[in-house]
Chain A
Amino acid sequence: MDMDSIPVLAHGCRLHPTQDVLLVPEGTLQLAGPSRDVLARVDGKHTVTAIVDELLLEYEGADATEVRADVMQLLASLEQRGVVRAQR
């Protein structure tokens, strides 16, 4: 996963429509803080850069370097867990 990757949720993984959990095969991953906002943009269209840019518009005054690092760390750990894949 890098900034130009287009992340997509793996088969059988989806956001719960109302609760802050990601439904995955045989379990649920609790979504803390802004991770729901990140995953809502994991749609097979946004690049990681595009996700970060949108979040920066939403979170006024947030530090761009920090947001970029947080988003990359979240997506990389979910990729290791097999629930997010880099499409490109």
Chain B
Amino acid sequence: MTASPFSLIAELTHRCPLHCLYCSNPVALKGAENELSTADWKRVFAQAGRLGVLHLHLTGGEPLVRGDLVELVSAARESGLYVNMITSGVGLKEDRLSALVDAGLEHLQLSFQDQDEAAANHIAGARAHALKLALVPLIRKSPLALTVNLVVHRMNLDRLPEFIVMAEELGPDRLEIAHVQYYGWALKNRSLLMPSEEQVHRSIAVVEAAKQRLKGRIHLESVVPDYFGSFPKACVGGWGRQTILIDPIGQALPCHAAAVIPNLVFDNVRSHDLAWIWEQSPAFQRFRGDAWMSATCLACPRKEQDFGGCRCQAFLLTGDADAIDPVCTYSPHHSLLQTLRGQTPELLPIWRG
């Protein structure tokens, strides 16, 4: 028996009022016409509860686009799940927020693109910054936990100290400083978004100082950007170990980027129970455990910490999904990242059409 997953990520829709340059959703988005129905999602949540999933993350696209969101939150709570929503907040009014809280929403994650309004709107491809700021006092009046997520990259990393002050004044329970990762649409803008080594090093000191200052008030979490590390991240806590993601049309993926890996077939919740998918679906078995690993990884004690790193990244950078994650110092491809770090940045953004 495989241990139960902790988290279910529900990509309710790919529709979104924002067009962020760093969007991690696939380049080809799923259309609204094929989205799972209310009944489909309710069935999936009930199956997730029975499977032992603890946390549900409602995301998208923008989950608020779904007219049945309140009903979905309520069904998720009835299934015993902890309900988190990752949202741009665009279009969220006080009455809908209270309906979501009454239905059992427990935690809301709101991301910010910059502390400067024009820069933030530029990155988001929408006039969203002022709307987000205006939403925070409403959230703080409600019994929701609030995480403010600062998305950082080459264009805003030099303003991180001011960005953190902005976040601090919003008074969240948690603060996440998230470096852009280069999956989905973001990969197209990698050269525009990738910071310099000097920027990254300066930012580490800024984050450490903020952690100390905010201790006991705001819980701060941040991760050093992958391309600047010497060892890979334990991507989604290891392939098929902790997480199931359901995309808008019902495909079950081990992580949000897994569709880039060739020859993986994703079973659909329209035709399979979640427990069957978790135990049996070939896509979840593909990199579960260590049988697929190279001799280098098999002999390495770090395989118990990073579970072989990120398969999607290994594929995107080397063309081989079984390769050692190039972030790892022991990868024969590690120099690829040094080359990328040394490149002259691109100055023109590529927008979703």
Contact = CB atoms under 8 A, between A and B. Distances in A.
- Chain B, interface size category, equals 20 to 34
Contact of B106 (A12, A17, A28, A81): A12
A16 interface: yes
Contacts, number: 50
Interface string B204-241: 00000000000111110100000000000000000000
Contacts of B82: 14, 23
A16 B174 CA distance: 21
Contacts of A26: 55, 84, 107, 147, 174, 221
A80 interface: yes
A50 interface: no
A81 B144 contact: no
A72 interface: no
B211 to A, nearest CB: 12
B145 A11 contact: yes
Determine which residue in B6, B82, B84 has the highest number of CB atoms from chain A within 10 A of its CB, and name it.
B82
A10 interface: yes
A67 interface: no
- Interface of chain A, main secondary structure: loop
Contacts of A82: 173-174, 216-219
A17 B107 CA distance: 18
Contacts of B6: 28
- Chain A, interface size category, equals 10 to 19
A13 interface: yes
A21 B54 contact: yes
Given A11-B144, A82-B216, A16 B54 contact: yes
B80 interface: yes
A21 B4 CA distance: 15
Contacts of A25: 84, 106-107, 145, 147, 173-174
Interface in A1-52: 10-14, 16-17, 19, 21, 23-28
A82 B221 CA distance: 12
A25 B176 CA distance: 12
B143 interface: yes
A51 B218 CA distance: 26
A11 B6 CA distance: 21
A79 interface: yes
Top 4 A-B pairs, shortest CB-CB distance:
A12-B145, A82-B219, A25-B107, A12-B107
